[in-house]
Amino acid sequence: MITIYHNPRCRKSREGLQLLEASGKAHEVRLYQKDPLSKKELQLIVKALGVPAETLVRKNEAVWKSDYKGKELTEDDILTAMQENPSLIERPVVSDGKRAVIGRPGEKITEFLGNN
Q: Can you say how many angstroms the Cα of residue 108 is from the centroid of all Cα atoms in its chain? A: 13
Known catalytic residue at 88: no
The identity of residue 67, as a single letter, is D
Active-site residue, selected from the candidate residues 9, 10, 56, 58: 10
CB 29 within 8 A of CB 4: yes
Catalytic residues: 10
